[in-house]
Amino acid sequence: MPDQRRDDAATAADDHPTDSEPQLPAPSLTAQGLDSSEPRQQGDLMAGPSHDPSLYRDRDVVPVRRALVSVSDKTDLLSLAEALAEAGVEIVSTGSTAATIRDAGFAVTDVAAVTGFPESLDGRVKTLHPAVHAGLLADLRLAHHENQLADLGIQPFELVVVNLYPFVETVASGAQGDDVVEQIDIGGPAMVRASAKNYANVAIVVSPESYGSVIEAIRAGGTSLAQRRELAARAFAHTAEYDRAVATWFADETLGEDVDLPAHLTIRAERLSTLRYGENMHQRAAIYTRTGGHGIAQATQLQGKEMSYNNYVDADAALRAAFDLVKPAVAIIKHANPCGIAVSAPNALDPIASAHLRAHACDPVSAFGGVIAANRKVTLKMAENLRDIFTEVIVAPDFEPEALEVFRLKNNLRVLKLPDDWKQEPMDVRLISGGLLLQDADRFPDDIESVATDWELVSGERPEADAMTNLIFAWKTCRAVKSNAIVLAKDSATVGIGMGQVNRVDSCRLAVERAGDRVQGAVAASDAFFPFADGPQVLIDAGVSAIVQPGGSVRDEEVVKAARDAGVTMFFTRERHFFH
């Protein structure tokens, strides 16, 4: 159970980098209300009091005589309590934090003894009291603050140790409704923010990771101004991330899918690791994780060399392609484009191994040094198929132990296991100069077969079930190919892919060239309409039997005529799938 300690609930660990680490920032993108370069008139924009600078007394090292401790994460709590007791620091605490410290034999003052008011409303009200917050907010650099605090009979705090109820963890557990709401902290963030604002006098600690440096400072005579300022920065980041998590949950719960895109957007992530370099060796790079994330950034690396920037990009692209498909499927990616995508052959004894062999057969040359994603557990048979194929990365939901034994013979192969709650992101974000773009992710429903019943047949006869399955497969895999995209498929496996060309007819030629003799009787998919009949004509002349495309060109009539003249089936989907 969470710590019954103050006025309500949530938490996140302090994962900020130390000063000794190379610094790449955690991205925090937010709409700003004021331009700090504009001149400010005190009477117009400053709501708080202002003081003559000469009234402030210098205060660098602040000895710790009184500490307020209220934590849900009890990690190293007793080590901290022991150090405070040894230094003669009075410990004021609440709920189970106080009980834990007292049971260990250390003196502790209950917050109710400070406020003269009992904890109430199931612990919702504990610390929201002037006797607490005056002790947190008094700026003792000002003589009149010191005098007023003495007149009120309130003692200041020099150290505050607070972390919040586990709101993010509660949401991640699948809890709903009131169970989540009860983890929304009120008093905790109030104490953290008050102490951080008053960093000139108070050290605020929001993570056990900071205990060691604070204990050293106390033993050395007190915390320094520089240390308190750094702790305050971490504290404000801590509460900002917490507030974002609460706001996101409320938006998801109450606003629904049809709500307008947000007027203000904040994205916060914590640096997981610094990478060797970026897309190229002269570029710095790091990978960041978002609280509550469930994607490639949360994957567990089971073996192999350190992941690179390009490895992450290609692995994510491979997952996008493989998990678009419901049947056991494998996607092989090179430079964010597919070399091959396939589902298993019917009645395959080892479906995922079958899917890999069929995907690899599409373009074995380009698959050299590729990145592979499987949407099922990787088996021993699939691992054996990869034994003599140079592969950079393989990512999957899981791996058979015997498969991992085979992979261990390939020391450099990076093997990534997806988190159990992996799922595709609902939104896409892209940075542009001066801002960013946000859009709904381009997703297919799992029951795309039912969607295909709405396709418009504009040429030829409706194919038999097997051919329709091929067309649906080609249409789904086309979404994973960079525009202009053309996919040729047979038996639910790609046989030729034309990608990234600046005109569609060149993509058609490239796909046909890659397919070779396999183009005969294959089906084709185009991610956008054909602006002229020349593209379809390339496919028709090569022997394609059916084409699926969005339609919508001003020259649709001549495009359809080319298909009709050749007796080739053509469908319009009325939905485009550009991918840039």
* Catalytic residue ranges: 197, 335
| Structure tokens given for 519 | 């183009």
Q: Nearest 5 degrees, angle CA 396-CA 400-CA 406?
A: 95
CA atoms within 13 A on the CB side of 54: 0
Q: Which residue has the tokens 């202009």?
A: 484
Alpha-carbon distance of 303 to 489, in angstroms, equals 34
- Phi and psi at 554, nearest 5°, equal -65, -15
Of 387, 6, 55, the C-alpha closest to 189 is: 6
Torsion of CA 243, 247, 253, 257, to 10 degrees: -140
Query: Which residues, listed in sequence order, are joined to residue 229 by a DSSP beta bridge?
Result: none
505 Rama class: left (phi>0) / alpha (psi -120 to 50) / beta:
alpha
Three-class DSSP category at 286: strand
The answer to whether the CB of 394 falls within 8 A of the CB of 415 is: yes
Of 335, 288, 342, 330, the C-alpha closest to 311 is: 335
Of 197, 55, 72, the C-alpha closest to 133 is: 197
**Sign of CA pseudo-dihedral 469, 474, 477, 479:** negative
**Sign of CA pseudo-dihedral 331, 332, 333, 337:** negative
Three-class DSSP category at 242: helix
**Using only C-alpha atoms, what is the Rg of the chain?**
31
Of 526, 524, 446, 441, the C-alpha closest to 488 is: 524
DSSP character string of 128-170: -SHHHHHHHH--TTSHHHHHHHHHHT----SEEEE----HHHH
Amino acid at position 317, single letter: A
The answer to whether the CB of 394 falls within 8 A of the CB of 378 is: yes
Give the length of the chain.
580
Our separate counts of H helices and E strands in the chain read: 21, 23
The answer to whether the CB of 351 falls within 8 A of the CB of 492 is: no
Query: Which residues, listed in sequence order, are joined to residue 296 by a DSSP beta bridge?
Result: none
